[in-house]
Amino acid sequence: MVHWSPADLDALLCQLRDEGFRVIGPSVRDGAIVYTDIDALPVGVGDDQEAGRYRLRERGDKTRFGYNLGPSSFKQYLFPSREELFAYADGDIVPAPLDDEKLAFVGVRACELAAIQVLDRVFQGDGFKDRRYQARRQNLLIVAVDCSQSAPTCFCASSDDGPGVGEGADLVLTELLDDGEPSYYVRAGSERGAELLAASEADAASPELQGRARAVVDETREGLERLLPREGLRDALLGALDHPHWQELAERCLACGNCTQVCPTCFCSTAVEETDPVSLRVSHVRQWDSCFTAGHSYVHGGPVHAGIASRYRQWLTHKLASWEDQFGRSGCTGCGRCISWCPVGIDLTAEAEALRRTP
């Protein structure tokens, strides 16, 4: 456990780059926090979120992690939104080279880390393994951060996925604030993380600092405004497949698929063929798909999920219920993105509660 200044944090980013990592983390773009290649962390940025609403604001301090989740998740770096699986050229299948670049994710929140672990179960769990995902995942270094504030859309504590970072990160930071000046309580979560800490020349953290870090997380947890109690939720939803509320929901839902695109665990994809008209090289590309499209459930004769009600039901019952049967846990880590980025402000926690109630 050490105590870092913002300069120590900057030094970590440099060190990671020097070690050949591609450093991915938060930056401000188009009025939102997004994950991109970074040289430095944004300073003094906060956000205001509500159902159907997301705005950045100046905090008037020097925090590096004073905002919550933006629309992009780390999913896009482990499972890219578009990716060639193979090509067909000169009469043969040519596998796309495996992308084994060393990635370092910086500023990974607790619910984000949990979401990565959900994707691990999808792409490298008990069944088939996706070699592309495995190649990226095995070199991944995770620098996580406890949340020192929550958005009104957050509900991570409902599934114990946050706001404190759980197992699986290499380094975990807690941002502490003294008169607008941040510092960091840092601990290692892996051998690799311990090596990084040993290499830094920072002071060891005092027990008092550890207590403050714990208090930050506790305060955040207590400040959470939304909850989605998970007890009995799976059975309640699967028992409510003919609930009239699905139809009521369908009258508000636009089937735009935003919720599935911002969700850090939605993994649906489709495959498209792209042929170069000159060389006739065919590229077989996997790209993100959404269960809100008619094509998603198409079989000969028409889509199985013809109406919006059945598409929303597919999404919600998969995410919060049948995911448990398939992967041993809920598909939702409580990040709240689907609430903020729904253009009509549908709140899945409220919808799930409504579906729990007998009509």
Partner 1 sequence: MSDCLLPTMCTITGRKQDTADVFTLSIDPPDGEFPFEPGQFNMLYIPGVGESAISISGRPAEANKLVHTIRAVGDVTRLLGIRETRERIGVRGPFGTGWPISQAAGKNVVIVAGGIGLAPLRPVIYAIADRRDDYGDVSLLYGARTPADVLYREELLEWKRAGVLDLAVTVDAARSDWSGDVGVVTNLVGRIHSDPAATVAMLCGPEIMMRSTARALLDIGVEEANIAVSMERNMKCATAFCGHCQLGPYFVCKDGPVFFYPDVAPYWQQREF
Site of interaction with partner 1 (CB under 8 A): 85-86, 88, 91-93, 95, 122-123, 127-131, 238, 241-242, 267-273, 275, 282, 286, 289, 291, 296-300, 304-307, 309-310, 313-314, 317-318, 322, 325-326
220 vs 310 by CB, closer to partner 1: 310
117 vs 314 by CB, closer to partner 1: 314
Instruction: Report DSSP state, residue 158.
Output: G
In this structure, what are the phi and psi dihedrals at residue 348, rounded to the nearest 5 degrees? -65, -25
Q: How far is the CB of 238 from partner 1 (least distance, A)?
A: 7
- Contact by Cβ (8 Å): 70, 34: yes
115 vs 169 by CB, closer to partner 1: 115
Spatial distance between the Cα atoms of 204 and 111, rounded to a whole number of angstroms: 28
Q: How far is the CB of 129 from partner 1 (least distance, A)?
A: 7
**Tokens coding 305:** 């999920």
Q: How far is the CB of 251 from partner 1 (least distance, A)?
A: 16
Q: How far is the CB of 325 from partner 1 (least distance, A)?
A: 3
Spatial distance between the Cα atoms of 95 and 84, rounded to a whole number of angstroms: 9
Q: How far is the CB of 303 from partner 1 (least distance, A)?
A: 8
29 vs 129 by CB, closer to partner 1: 129
Identify whether 80 is preceded by a cis peptide bond (ω within 30 of 0).
no
199 vs 304 by CB, closer to partner 1: 304
- Contact by Cβ (8 Å): 271, 88: no
40 vs 272 by CB, closer to partner 1: 272
Q: How far is the CB of 17 from partner 1 (least distance, A)?
A: 31
122 vs 217 by CB, closer to partner 1: 122
**Tokens coding 207:** 């027990």
Helix boundaries (H) for 224-327:
233-238, 245-250, 258-262, 308-317, 323-327
147 vs 237 by CB, closer to partner 1: 237
* Torsion (CA) 204, 38, 334, 47 in degrees, nearest 10: 100
Spatial distance between the Cα atoms of 35 and 306, rounded to a whole number of angstroms: 35
Strand, coil or helix: what is 160? Answer: coil
> Integer distance in angstroms from the first to the last C-alpha of the chain?
53
Q: How far is the CB of 101 from partner 1 (least distance, A)?
A: 19
Q: How far is the CB of 157 from partner 1 (least distance, A)?
A: 26
- List all residues 6 or more positions away from 244 whose beta carbon is below 8 Å from its beta carbon: 359
Element (H, E) at 216: helix 207-223
